Chains A and B, each alone.
Chain A
């Protein structure tokens, strides 16, 4: 089922929880709603589910406008961060609750519950109460309950946030696999950008109720449209430096007290077309900085902090008043206080207008 949100708004008193949201989720797609806490992700989800009535705007399932449909008329399965398993019901009763409400025959109910439970690997736990299950098991029961009525849409509200890191990784894979196998349309809310990157075919980044950008994970990572997206997606996060944008000698330069970089001409032209101001914010991801021998280096900096990450070391450098972080293959040879030459991958630079916070490299 295709979901279309058109100019969707939800206000709670003065708070604009969701502000003029336009979003299309194609049939069978898993879209992640990504953003910091309080940015309106849950509110959006609850409007799709029919729990909240939009203040204005439209929600369509395929072509049908569903604004007025009750939750029970929407055929949606939902999974919560808190699992929301009814504590007084056994696993079986929890899973069959949606079927009981649909007045499904007892025999068919049993069959479908068993099938959903087996699919989630909890077939042996059907007689237990939620309090007798571990967090991971509870999440599986919650998934089985969402799947048992064969919903047209699956909604996830930070379903893995309460699990430990290892289990989270495993469930992440299982959910993605399940969603692909069933071909069900899914909206997956998370504040964890790694989860969004790995699971979703497209990511909608929200902040203060406003949609910041919407696109494929690689698109958002490689070509972030806004300063917020650039800083929010990617771990360790992108470095930002204030620089001047200059055109001279038929070339384009970024300059600050400590460095001067010539950027590729076609990028410079693009920035100029985008009316890049004199003062711009340059962005560079830690993996796009390399430590080199003197002749190729762009500038010199002093090693300030070394944080081993296993496969790589995250090294913080200082130059002038600025700080920049780079990923170096482990083991990193340098010592703290040592001065080294850094080279930036010019084609991987990002440029943002500090006023509008929009990328100056945005294609039009």
Chain B
């Protein structure tokens, strides 16, 4: 009896926390997305009663005038940040730092990882300062000005997307970098030795031996970063808040936030915002399933065929 109870006693703090702050909000968001709950009818609308549930919010999303721009922005933001930085640059850094002297590589990775321990607000504000207009902005004053590039305007107004990619990418790449480089270092030396003796160049060894062997970290980082980029909005909010043009850098997660939690149109539309989030979650799940298919998850669980010694 006691033995059976003990595990639950130990698990209970976590279970309570996860239930309170994850499962209940999840279900509430799902229900809210079918209601028109907002600041004006709060306390009046009985949102928990199914009679008040309908699909109006979802219709509103898909008929929104800016729907295609927001969707396009989101796809571009996720795909390019992922390809160029969070997976692409992460892999390049991991490969370079594991093919040079061990200590040098390690030191470089530590340096690259450091910004992660800066609070995201501070880090983003530093980028805003970098991008500032001519007399103050570091980039304008010390690099672009002397080189005669541009007219010293506020760079976040002229090139908002470039900064969104850089701000997310430079931090984002360090996650994949750490995972990839430890996976590469875990490859037994015999494989790379064998490959070189078999006649491969370093690049061919990477291409034919090392990359296939880190397929699972690659899949994991791609999936994980896709999902976290889909749902991340804080850097964009701090950098451009969706601007400077109308919905110019507005992504899906930021829209959900804007609708639900800021009084952009005079009221905070909790139900409508919840609907944006729910669609985002569904997109995320679909993406994860697609990745598993593309990377052929089934191959990992093939039947053994050993029959004799």
Complex Cα distance A49/B189, Å?
A: 14
Q: Is B213's CB within 8 Å of the partner chain A? A: yes
Interface residues of B in 192-219 (CB under 8 A from A): 193-201, 204, 208-209, 212-213, 215
Residues of B within 8 A of A97 (CB): 195, 198, 200, 208
Complex Cα distance A103/B54, Å?
A: 64
Interface residues of A in 124-182 (CB under 8 A from B): 128-129, 131-136, 145, 149, 155, 164, 167
Q: Contact check, B304 vs A131: say whether CB atoms are below 8 A apart.
A: yes
Q: Is A84's CB within 8 Å of the partner chain B? A: yes
Q: Contact check, B193 vs A98: say whether CB atoms are below 8 A apart.
A: no
Residues of A within 8 A of B194 (CB): 78, 80, 84, 86
Q: Contact check, A51 vs B193: say whether CB atoms are below 8 A apart.
A: yes
Q: Contact check, B200 vs A101: say whether CB atoms are below 8 A apart.
A: yes
Q: Contact check, A135 vs B309: say whether CB atoms are below 8 A apart.
A: yes
Contact of B190 among A77, A84, A88 (CB under 8 A): A84
Q: Contact check, A98 vs B191: say whether CB atoms are below 8 A apart.
A: no
Complex Cα distance A86/B193, Å?
A: 11
Known: A84-B193, A101-B204, A132-B304. A149 touches B199 (CB 8 A): yes
Q: Is A87's CB within 8 Å of the partner chain B? A: yes
Q: Is A82's CB within 8 Å of the partner chain B? A: yes
Q: Is B306's CB within 8 Å of the partner chain A? A: yes
Q: Is B43's CB within 8 Å of the partner chain A? A: no
Contact of B191 among A70, A86, A101, A155 (CB under 8 A): A86
Residues of B within 8 A of A101 (CB): 198-200, 204
Nearest residue, chain A, Cβ from B196: A71
Q: Contact check, A46 vs B193: say whether CB atoms are below 8 A apart.
A: yes
Residues of B within 8 A of A280 (CB): none
Interface residues of A in 310-327 (CB under 8 A from B): none
Q: Is A76's CB within 8 Å of the partner chain B? A: yes
Contact of A51 among B196, B199, B201, B306 (CB under 8 A): B196
Q: Contact check, A132 vs B309: say whether CB atoms are below 8 A apart.
A: no
Nearest residue, chain B, Cβ from A135: B309
Q: Contact check, A128 vs B199: say whether CB atoms are below 8 A apart.
A: no
Residues of B within 8 A of A84 (CB): 188, 190-191, 193-194
Q: Contact check, A72 vs B306: say whether CB atoms are below 8 A apart.
A: no
User: Beta-carbon contacts of B136-173 to A below 8 Å, as 1s and 0s?
Assistant: 00000000000000000000000000000000000000
User: Beta-carbon contacts of B285-309 to A below 8 Å, as 1s and 0s?
Assistant: 0000000000000000010111011
Known: A84-B191, A86-B191, A132-B304. A71 touches B309 (CB 8 A): no
Nearest residue, chain A, Cβ from B307: A134
Known: A132-B304, A136-B309. A71 touches B197 (CB 8 A): yes
CB distance from A146 to the nearest CB of B (A): 8
Residues of B within 8 A of A155 (CB): 197
CB distance from A265 to the nearest CB of B (A): 54
Complex Cα distance A129/B304, Å?
A: 9
CB distance from B233 to the nearest CB of A (A): 38
Residues of A within 8 A of B309 (CB): 134-136, 164, 167
Q: Is A105's CB within 8 Å of the partner chain B? A: no
Complex Cα distance A220/B294, Å?
A: 60
Complex Cα distance A129/B212, Å?
A: 14
Q: Contact check, B308 vs A71: say whether CB atoms are below 8 A apart.
A: no
Contact of A82 among B190, B199, B215, B305 (CB under 8 A): B190
Q: Is A102's CB within 8 Å of the partner chain B? A: yes
Known: A87-B213, A135-B309. A77 touches B200 (CB 8 A): no
Q: Contact check, B306 vs A132: say whether CB atoms are below 8 A apart.
A: yes
Nearest residue, chain A, Cβ from B209: A86
Q: Tell me the B residues contacting A by CB distance below 8 Å.
A: 188, 190-191, 193-201, 204, 208-209, 212-213, 215, 302, 304-306, 308-309
6 A-B contacts (beta carbon < 8 Å)? A71-B196, A72-B199, A80-B190, A84-B188, A86-B212, A87-B213
- The 9 A-B pairs of least Cβ separation, nearest first, read A132-B305, A84-B190, A84-B194, A72-B199, A101-B199, A98-B198, A88-B212, A71-B196, A78-B197
